[in-house]
């Protein structure tokens, strides 16, 4: 005589059965969003620092030109690693040649700013002189100066400062123009002017 087994009950899936799965998916999604925002935030911080640094450096160099008169830079691209110098002899400090070196008011900054361990630079172009991020610095768009973004004497820096794929970040340029006038705009009296011009001779 065959044994009769009661029919198996089919397992019913209810809303409560899916709750742990839904909860786990929700927390994974939140974790992914948090990681993405952290990653984007880190990239944004890099460009914010660069924008602030180039503004500060350009302001310092404009002040130096106004007081000392920047005649020229030695190279097409000169790195800004000398603004913490207090005093020097001659008419040159770092790559800058000054009309009135005796009016140097350094140090202009405690430490020369860097980003990703690399210095900023001044580049001489057909459009003028500009403070720019140095070669090897990677921007938040993933592009690297000197590799993906070439900056040299023929570069149109003003156009690059309007291009989000180059030197523009959220309406903030990542470069800044400076003046190289060859003469100070802040005038000295004749005696002081003569003494400043002969400084270091």
Q: How many domains does the chain have?
A: 1
Residue 109, Cα to own-chain centre: how many angstroms? 17
Residue 87, Cα to own-chain centre: how many angstroms? 27
Whether 8 is in a domain gets the answer no
Q: How far apart are CA 101 and CA 111, in angstroms?
A: 21
Whether 149 is in a domain gets the answer yes
CB within 8 A of 76, min separation 6: which ones? 123, 124, 152, 153
Whether 60 is in a domain gets the answer yes
Whether 168 is in a domain gets the answer yes
Q: Identify the pLDDT of residue 33.
A: 52
Structural contact between residues 50 and 175, judged by C-beta atoms closer than 8 angstroms: no
pTM of structure: 0.76
Q: Give which of 133, 124, 111 is closest to 48, Cα–Cα.
A: 133
CA distances from 74 to 13, 14, 70, 165, 189 (A): 78, 78, 11, 30, 29
Q: How far apart are CA 167 and CA 61, in angstroms?
A: 20
If you ran DSSP here, which 8-state letter would residue 47 be given?
H
Whether 3 is in a domain gets the answer no
Give me the half-sphere count of Cα atoms (radius 13 Å) on the Cβ side of residue 103.
25
Q: Identify the pLDDT of residue 1.
A: 53
Per-residue pLDDT of the chain (201 residues; tens, 9 = 90+): 555 656 665 555 565 666 666 666 655 655 555 444 545 555 689 999 999 999 999 999 999 999 999 999 999 999 999 999 999 999 999 999 999 999 999 999 999 999 999 999 999 999 999 999 999 999 999 999 999 999 999 999 999 999 999 999 999 999 999 999 988 877 655 545 555 445 444
Q: Identify the pLDDT of residue 26.
A: 58
Structural contact between residues 54 and 132, judged by C-beta atoms closer than 8 angstroms: yes
Whether 150 is in a domain gets the answer yes
Q: Identify the pLDDT of residue 22.
A: 66
Q: 136 in the Ramachandran plot: left (φ > 0), alpha (ψ -120 to 50) or beta?
A: left
> Interior CA angle at 15 toward 10 and 21, to 5°?
100
Whether the link from the prior residue into 107 is cis, omega within 30° of 0, is yes
As beta bridge partners, residue 199 has none
Q: Identify the pLDDT of residue 186.
A: 72
Whether 4 is in a domain gets the answer no
Whether 7 is in a domain gets the answer no
Q: Identify the pLDDT of residue 25.
A: 61
CB within 8 A of 156, min separation 6: which ones? 125, 127
Q: How far apart are CA 199 and CA 194, in angstroms?
A: 9
Structural contact between residues 141 and 168, judged by C-beta atoms closer than 8 angstroms: no
**Parent domain of 93:** 15-197
Q: Identify the pLDDT of residue 42.
A: 58
């Amino acid at each position: 005589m065959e044994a009769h087994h009661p029919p198996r009950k089919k397992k019913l899936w209810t809303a409560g059965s899916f709750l742990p799965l839904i909860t786990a998916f929700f927390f994974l999604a939140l974790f992914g969003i948090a990681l993405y925002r952290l990653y984007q935030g880190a990239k944004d911080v890099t460009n914010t620092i660069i924008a602030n640094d180039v503004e500060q450096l350009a302001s310092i160099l404009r002040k130096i030109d106004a007081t000392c008169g920047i005649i020229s830079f030695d190279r097409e691209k000169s790195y800004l690693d000398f603004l913490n110098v207090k005093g020097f002899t001659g008419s040159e400090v770092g790559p800058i040649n000054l009309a009135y070196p005796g009016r140097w008011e350094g140090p202009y900054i405690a430490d020369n700013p860097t980003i990703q361990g690399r210095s900023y630079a001044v580049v001489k172009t057909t459009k003028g002189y500009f403070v720019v991020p140095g070669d090897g610095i990677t921007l938040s768009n993933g592009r690297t100066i000197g590799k993906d973004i070439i900056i040299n004497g023929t570069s149109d820096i003003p156009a690059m400062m309007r291009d989000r794929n180059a030197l523009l970040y959220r309406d903030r340029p990542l470069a800044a123009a400076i003046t190289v006038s060859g003469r100070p705009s802040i005038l000295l009296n004749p005696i002081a002017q003569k003494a400043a011009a002969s400084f270091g001779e």
